[in-house]
A and B are shown apart, each in its own frame.
Chain A
Amino acid sequence: MSLTDVSTTVSSDSKDASPGKSAVATASAGRSDPFLIVPISLFFILMTFAVIRSPSLVSASGIGSATIVATPLILATYALMASVIAGRGTVDLSIGPLIGFINVTLVQLVTNGYFANPFAFFGLAFLLGAGYQLIFALIVIYVRVQPIIVSLSGFLALSGINLVILPRPGGLSPEWMASWGLGRTVYSPPLAVLAIATVAWLLFTRTAFFTHLRLMGSDERAAYTSGVPITIVRIGAHIISGLFAALAAVCFTALISSGDPSQGTTYTLIAVTALVLGGASLAGGRAGVFGSALGALNLYLITFVLATFSFGAVQSFVTDLAYGTILVASLLLTLVLPLIQKYISNFSPLLYFVAIGVVVLGVTLHSVMGYGPLSEAVVPPPFPGPLDMTAAMTGIFEVSQLDPTTEALREAARPLIWGAGLLVALAVLARVAVTRGHSREVAPVIFLIIGLIVLGVSYSMTREDGLLFQQPTVETKP
């Protein structure tokens, strides 16, 4: 069974590096998770579209606002993920209303002057999330009703009580949170929350508890007979889910800077969809933080790309249609995966991500170094007159002349692109060395190289002169 995601690859890498486990290391060298192919490919396809359609996405404010909108979605997906891994078909339908519940409770309290202190605010959020999930877990364990029924019950109860606590959207978020929802810079507090949550989960995957959790999720009977304390493991999984839900609620509060009792259904559906898009199994045992985040980002990007087309009155319907079609199509694609796995036995999702990522970075650079809006460009008519080969080949992408500024920027970006390409090539080589040589000692090199790429990109994003992501002057013309 390939239950790994990228995070568990990390854990097995480091664990198996010890000499005593060399046999295990050989067996699992090059273990792959093909389920991540679909979300990664979809992410970069959407990213390409998004960047070509609207280059402002990769400006500082574009990324900033994308982060604060997408963070609650991603965290909601994490929350769902934690309980889905626990198995028994625990698709927590109540996750959306739970986020809404924490949101309206906190907003109502803050509006009346309580819990405005950040520590108290976060503390209460965690308490509410974990408390609800604890009750959930206890019902599942001791009353022994199917989890989906309990979650349905919770969905109805919480969406009812949300409307009682706050009948219509309104209220105030705490003052210290006012700057959270602006999204003018790349590095915003929600991003920090997201990063902490992700790192926390990655650290959690290295514990024995997580191994037990995954064992229980894929086969509860086997876990029970091999002495895993399934009661405690299940309670733990639910409490983690509750903590993520609390973080999602805090970020959601920051996003809308008020309370909204009626977002429950939306968030539940989005979280379930994102989780499945990210390659998780609703039956339990297989879900990862990387896939979940990508799934949620994909959903955000679908909406974003479609919003750049103006469909007028039918905009939301087109979004629905695209949303549904992409969902079904990507699910059907997972059926083809066993075939792919046959031929590419040592697929590395992380490397695949980085490799395509560099390609898309090129596309991004190209479109950001903008050549003016498409409508202003003089597109050569395709047939009449003698065919200009260069124009025909590049006409789809390049629609106007280069000016000195972009020329200069291109020069500045050139070493960076070459550097990234080189690093990717090195990473591929190292990866091949790992799988062919059956040795795990080289594995950290890959992470080192990828870390370098990430550092480089982050550095260029913070540069004052905006090495990569400066808004081109051409575009600001009316």
Chain B
Amino acid sequence: MSFFDENRPLSLATRLLGLILGGGLTLLSIIFGFIQGVPVPAIILYALTTITLFFFGWKFVLPHFLIATEKKDEAEEGPGPFRLILIKYYPALIVLGLILIAFFILGAGFDGFLSGWTVASLVILLTIIVATRTIGPVFETNRSAFIGIMVLIGLFTVGAFNIEGFSSSSNIRSMLLFAAFLGMACVGQTLVALLGGLDLSIPFIIGASNVGMLYLISLGVPPWLAFCCVLVIGGLLGVMNGLLSFRLQGQALIVTLGTGFAISGSVQIITSIGTAYGGNVFGVVPGWLSNLAAMNGRTFGIPIPPTIVIWFLTTLILVVGMRMTVYGRYLYALGVNRISAKRVMISELKYWVMAYGLSGFFSALTGALLLGWSGGGFIGVGEQYLFLTLAAVVVGGTSLMGGQGGYGFTVIGVLVLQVLTSFLVGIGLDYEWQQFIFGLLIVPMVALYARTPHIRTQI
């Protein structure tokens, strides 16, 4: 978007300064690498990464600040700079003050609360808040992504300092695996939200495909065929959702909930016919499916579960597709303004049904992969995704009114939720406290970037 497209040339002096600074930083990292005895290929890799990231930042991020300061210079008159800051940031300052007060009360109340790492965590937290309030506005278009990444980095750092094994490769792998499941379930929710709808049938389709696939396998259908069948049926159910809810867009929430109930009920009836165990299906999950989704799965010999790779590819296709292809642009066009999109001959029905179809497809895929992960069919496997997909979409910064956001944002939302869960588990909180904190964090996070304008500005 405009963040990368706009050509904002830097002056020669700035460019030279950047070159020197970047070179110096890279040199420093190489020297430190040799002192610490890191293997040579790793040093080269790190050096390359450092210099690339530095130049990237210098070229694309810096101009925003330079221009922002220029703009500020124009508005010289009025209250003094200190007072200006006070007026501009006073809600943030109040929050800051509250956090500090709470921290000192906690510090005074509990012995051992004021340890080094808690103070460090506080400093990181404060940095995030300050950074989001001061630097955040510079990123006009991708503010939610910026804030999300800041929170992600902050959480990860705090977690890595405070919890043993938080940044170990196995923990990161498991976080990514769960994020992949959630992320896959969120694909549909994001697309549908971009059009201004909601899809609550996702958890039911996940459960239904989970049980249905195992049922097909137990009937003797070859597993690959069962896998394909489940995906196709999932897609068709999604299309049905889209067709049913097209005329009832205001009530899409309820239509999809109804179809969800019907789908999960009928799949369970089908699978229970002829067995004595109502609702339970027994079967053997094939090895390749387990490998696809299990923690110790391997992609062509590399110890990364293929699910993560699949999620990564999906993300890549979706993010690029939404930006570059006609389909993606039309989807945004419909989300922003339905009427003007119709005037330029964009078929509303087609895109609405397509979004729901994809939602059904990806829900079925998630269900099938979850079968590989757990090894047993269970209709309630998707239950937690009912509101979690919504939370991830919202935290990522996709507006539920449609037209704003994208799958890239949702990925950030998913990662934030996943790292937060992992962090809360790490510091020993139970499920109920996790949920509680989740709930309390959503509003402030969304409030940082998605406040609706006051009614008097909308007239």
Contact with A along B417-436 (1 / 0, CB 8 A): 00000000000000111111
Complex contact A317–B269 (CB within 8 A): yes
Q: Is A91 an interface residue (CB 8 A)?
A: yes
Instruction: Give bound CA distance, A248 to B248, whole Å.
Output: 30
B239 to chain A, nearest CB (A): 15
Instruction: Give bound CA distance, A162 to B433, whole Å.
Output: 10
Query: Which B residues lie within 8 Å of A282 (CB)?
Result: 250-251, 253-254
Query: What residue in chain A is nearest B278 (Cβ atoms)?
Result: A313
- Number of residues on chain B facing chain A (CB within 8 A): 56
Complex contact A332–B265 (CB within 8 A): no
Complex contact B459–A225 (CB within 8 A): yes
Complex contact B262–A153 (CB within 8 A): no
Query: Which B residues lie within 8 Å of A327 (CB)?
Result: 254-255, 257-258, 261
Q: Is B266 an interface residue (CB 8 A)?
A: yes
Contact stretch, chosen from B65-73, B329-337, B441-449: B441-449
Contact stretch, chosen from A3-11, A107-115, A144-152: A144-152
Complex contact A313–B265 (CB within 8 A): no
Which of A154, A155, A160, A324 sits near B433, CB closer than 8 Å?
A160
Contact with A along B232-249 (1 / 0, CB 8 A): 000000000000100110
Query: Which B residues lie within 8 Å of A322 (CB)?
Result: 265
- Number of residues on chain A facing chain B (CB within 8 A): 56
Complex contact B443–A160 (CB within 8 A): no
B112 to chain A, nearest CB (A): 23
Query: Which A residues lie within 8 Å of B447 (CB)?
Result: 143-145
Contact stretch, chosen from B53-61, B285-293, B310-318, B386-394: B386-394
Complex contact B255–A145 (CB within 8 A): no
Known: A145-B451, A146-B401, A324-B262. A164 touches B391 (CB 8 A): no
Q: Is B321 an interface residue (CB 8 A)?
A: no
Query: What residue in chain A is nearest B388 (Cβ atoms)?
Result: A156
Can you identify 26 A-B contacts, CB atoms within 8 angstroms? A152-B442, A153-B440, A153-B442, A155-B439, A156-B439, A157-B435, A160-B431, A160-B435, A164-B432, A167-B432, A220-B455, A224-B459, A273-B258, A281-B250, A282-B253, A313-B279, A318-B269, A319-B265, A321-B266, A323-B258, A324-B260, A327-B255, A328-B255, A331-B248, A331-B255, A335-B247
- Secondary structure dominating the interface of B: helix
A296 to chain B, nearest CB (A): 14
Give the top 4 A-B pairs by smallest Cβ distance, nearest first.
A313-B278, A157-B439, A324-B262, A160-B436
Instruction: Give bound CA distance, A347 to B269, whole Å.
Output: 41
Instruction: Give bound CA distance, A163 to B433, whole Å.
Output: 9
Q: Is A314 an interface residue (CB 8 A)?
A: yes
B402 to chain A, nearest CB (A): 12
Query: What residue in chain B is nearest A325 (Cβ atoms)?
Result: B262
Query: Which A residues lie within 8 Å of B446 (CB)?
Result: 145-146, 149
Complex contact A144–B262 (CB within 8 A): no
Beyond contacts A158-B439, A272-B253, A331-B248: 9 other A-B pairs, Cβ-Cβ < 8 A, are: A156-B435, A157-B438, A162-B432, A230-B455, A272-B257, A313-B279, A317-B265, A324-B257, A331-B258
Q: Is A65 an interface residue (CB 8 A)?
A: no
Query: Which A residues lie within 8 Å of B251 (CB)?
Result: 276, 282, 331
A134 to chain B, nearest CB (A): 15
Within 8 A of A (CB), among B390-406: 390-391, 394, 400-401
Which of B261, B269, B435 sits near A323, CB closer than 8 Å?
B261
B455 to chain A, nearest CB (A): 5
Query: Which B residues lie within 8 Å of A335 (CB)?
Result: 247-248
Q: Is B83 an interface residue (CB 8 A)?
A: no
Q: Is A374 an interface residue (CB 8 A)?
A: no
Q: Is A283 an interface residue (CB 8 A)?
A: yes
Query: Which A residues lie within 8 Å of B144 (CB)?
Result: none
